[in-house]
Amino acid sequence: MEIRNLTAKPSRRDDPLKILVVMSEFNALITERLLSGCMETLASADPPVDRTDIVRVPGALEIPETLSLLLPDSSYGAAIALGCVIRGETGHYDAVVQGATEGIVRQSQLHGIPVVFGILTVDSLKQALDRVGGIAGHKGHEAGETALRMACLFRAYSKGSSR
């Protein structure tokens, strides 16, 4: 039995790498930190990212519809959804998390473009702060790294590319 590990390493290609970032403004104390970490990672990428478009939307539920607007017929190598949903005292949290998650996954599948889920779903502000440079790492950096890896993978193995 043949076993192959299919991975893709960054390569210098003639076609520019463009990344789309859609960020929720709700819980801006956290989402701005997510964006900052993500942009640090994208800025230091090798090969470099040629362009990053940032679109700010009011909340996490507006992210999928914005992806739906911007991904068709685009030349983005990947998209990143950034947000922070903090559990409250009502069931609103569950509805927002489920709607945003399902919508983001659907957009990736519909458009054949990797969409990274960089939305924190936490129980408290402390948990969110721990995930933007605290004891739980920096999820903004991780989202940027994931987008770069997935863009390379999709480029290497998409239809019409040489394998």
**DSSP conformation class of 9:** -
Tokens encoding 34? 């997510």
Top pLDDT among 155 and 116 is at 116
At 93, the amino acid letter reads Y
Q: Which active-site residues does the annotation give?
A: 92
| Amino acid 8: pLDDT | 58
- Tell me the pLDDT band of 7, cut-offs 50, 70 and 90: low
**pLDDT above 70 for 40:** yes
**Range 109-125 average pLDDT:** 95
Query: Which pLDDT value is given to residue 2?
Result: 72
Going from N- to C-terminal start, the domains of the chain cover: 20-124+132-155
Q: Is the pLDDT of residue 17 over 70?
A: yes
- Residue 83 has a pLDDT of 97
> What does the alpha-carbon distance between residue 60 and residue 73 come to, in Å, rounded to a whole number?
23
What CATH superfamily is the domain 20-124+132-155?
Lumazine/riboflavin synthase (3.40.50.960)
User: Which stretch of 2-6, 41-45, 112-116 has the lowest confidence by average pLDDT?
Assistant: 2-6
Averaged pLDDT for residues 87-112 = 91
- Show the beta-strand stretches assigned E in 43-114: 51-57, 78-86
